[in-house]
């Protein structure tokens, strides 16, 4: 985290995601540096792409690229930009950073895998609570539940930065659309793993990971 520099570093956007990302890549996702092109791999989409340094750190720790690349973060000739570029960052499924795009893309990815008869790969997407102010996300939530996208999983990092919020909490918005939902401490690795691995047959699943409020 200390390698983040510049006025556009979005520090809280990165640090808020670190534990959730680590548990995903360390214990849940079925993807490795050698399987990034395997049709049977799990897909992870970082929608909260405006603070990618934790994502880069986890990818480096898992061998997707060398740790020596990290100190160049944000520099002109570094592949590690302030928003991740899927053409430059090994392991990145999408370019992201503009709020509200990742969840709709994840819904499309889950539909595409289903259409191809690929029933094993899971699709995971990490969004920020403030992204849920974007209408595109609510359309995706409303569609995915009735569509029964059981391989779709969403992690919402809740650092109390949303403008509007939702009556009854974030999880209730997803539950109203037929999703499986749980809310956990976003710094508790065992709680995160239990939530990530909870069965949800025939329904998409959301894990709301609460962390310290954004300052």
DSSP string, 78-125: -S--SS--TTTSTT--S---STT-HHHHHHHHHHHHHHTT--S--EEE
- pLDDT given for residue 181 in this prediction: 97
Continuous segment of H or E residues that includes residue 15? helix 11-15
Identify the pLDDT of residue 163. 65
H or E, element range at 44:
strand 43-46
Q: At what angle do helices 135-147 and 102-115 cross, to 10 degrees?
A: 30
Q: How far apart are CA 117 and CA 93, in angstroms?
A: 20
Strands 123-128 and 180-185, sheet pairing: unpaired
Query: Given this model, what pLDDT does residue 27 score?
Result: 98
Note the pTM of the prediction, 2 decimals: 0.93
* pLDDT confidence of residue 13: 73
> What's the token pair of residue 18?
């670190």
**What residues are paired with 153 via a beta bridge?**
124, 205
Helix (H, G, I), strand (E, B) or coil at 183: strand
User: Which H or E run includes 185?
Assistant: strand 180-185
**What's the burial of 83, exposed, middle or buried (CB within 10 Å: 0-12/13-18/19+)?**
middle
Provide the phi-psi class of 205: left if phi over 0, else alpha when psi is between -120 and 50, else beta. Answer: beta
* φ, ψ dihedrals at 207, nearest 5°: -115, 115
The pLDDT score that the predictor gives to residue 15 is 85
Helix (H) or strand (E) holding 209: strand 205-210
Q: One digit per residue, pLDDT tens: the chain, 215 residues?
A: 666 555 555 667 778 999 999 999 999 999 999 999 999 999 999 999 888 989 999 999 999 999 999 988 888 899 998 899 999 999 999 999 888 899 999 999 999 999 999 999 999 999 999 888 888 999 999 999 999 999 999 999 998 887 666 778 899 999 999 999 999 999 999 999 999 999 999 999 999 999 998 76
């Amino acid at each position: 985290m200390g390698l983040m520099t510049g006025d556009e570093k979005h520090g809280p956007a990165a640090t808020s995601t670190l534990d959730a990302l680590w548990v995903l890549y360390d214990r849940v996702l079925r993807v490795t540096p050698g399987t990034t092109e395997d049709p049977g791999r799990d897909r992870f989409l970082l929608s909260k792409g405006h603070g990618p340094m934790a994502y880069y750190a986890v990818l480096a720790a898992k061998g997707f690229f060398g740790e020596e690349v990290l100190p160049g973060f944000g520099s002109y000739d570094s592949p590690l930009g302030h928003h991740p570029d899927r053409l430059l960052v090994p392991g990145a499924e999408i370019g992201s950073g503009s709020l509200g795009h990742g969840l709709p893309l994840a819904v499309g990815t889950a539909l595409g895998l289903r259409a191809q008869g690929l029933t094993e790969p899971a699709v995971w997407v990490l969004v920020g609570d403030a992204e849920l102010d974007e209408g595109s996300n609510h359309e995706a939530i409303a569609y995915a539940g009735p569509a029964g996208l059981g391989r779709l999983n969403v992690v919402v990092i809740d650092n109390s930065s949303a403008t509007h919020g939702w009556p009854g909490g974030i999880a209730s918005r997803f539950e109203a659309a037929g999703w499986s939902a749980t809310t956990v401490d976003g710094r508790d690795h065992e709680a995160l793993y239990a939530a990530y691995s909870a069965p949800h047959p025939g329904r998409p699943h959301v894990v709301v990971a609460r962390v310290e409020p954004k300052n």
